[in-house]
């Protein structure tokens, strides 16, 4: 331990979390805002989905840890919402399983401490034209804005049912003028 103990804010999710400190991203902004007030801890795993997250919950968030996070911001859903690949491989998670995984993640995180707060981020929108151009056939996976919407709505519904906070990235980002170039890289 270095210096006085501070609250821990854990960012837990896939590539949107892993790369959140790049290019003055949202993780870097949080670290700046909470400098000397909270420790921002990154637990981002590029390419992961909610199924993988459930498998490692106990390792990333052990219930017997001496100190539990004050806040956990959770993002899974973008990779889950990629359409199923013909081979059965890939990050796609069926919607019903995704919904159950979000519940499992929420239950586990809420059980860590009475003081642990949880916020879920929904799947953001995707600009299909921009995605196709950047991948240019290199990856044989399809992510559509409509599939992101469906998973985003499912996340919001679970959070409403469990009385959890959620940020609707899918809707909020598309309200920004020129969101495809302003909000996406």
Residue 172 CA to residue 179 CA, distance in Å, equals 10
Query: Residue 97 CB: number of other CB atoms within 10 A?
Result: 15
Paired tokens of 68: 């539990």
Interhelix angle for 50-60 vs 95-110, to 10°? 20
Catalytic pick from 15, 81, 134, 152? 15
15 catalytically annotated: yes
3-state helix, strand, coil in the chain (%, to 5): 40, 15, 45
Say if CB 7 and CB 70 are below 8 A apart. Answer: yes
Residue 146 CA to residue 117 CA, distance in Å, equals 30
- Residue 73: C-alpha distances to residues 90, 101, 129, 131, 144 (Å): 25, 15, 29, 25, 24
So which residues are the catalytic ones? Answer: 15
């Amino acid at each position: 331990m270095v210096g006085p103990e501070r609250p821990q804010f854990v960012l837990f999710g896939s590539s949107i979390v892993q790369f959140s400190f790049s290019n003055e991203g949202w993780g870097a902004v949080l670290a700046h805002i909470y400098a000397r007030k909270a420790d921002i801890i990154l637990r981002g795993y590029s390419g992961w989905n909610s199924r993988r997250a459930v498998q490692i919950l106990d390792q990333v968030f052990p219930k017997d840890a001496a100190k539990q996070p004050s806040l956990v911001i959770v993002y899974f859903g973008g990779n889950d919402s990629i359409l199923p690949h013909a081979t059965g491989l890939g990050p796609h998670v069926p919607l019903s399983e995704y919904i159950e995984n979000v519940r499992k993640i929420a239950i586990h995180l809420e059980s860590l401490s009475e003081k642990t707060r949880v916020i879920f981020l929904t799947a953001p929108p995707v600009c299909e034209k921009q995605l196709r151009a950047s991948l240019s056939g290199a990856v044989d996976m399809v992510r559509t804005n409509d599939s992101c919407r469906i998973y985003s709505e499912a996340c919001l519904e679970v959070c409403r049912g469990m009385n959890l906070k959620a940020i609707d990235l899918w809707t909020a980002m598309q309200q920004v003028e020129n969101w495809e170039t302003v909000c996406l890289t």
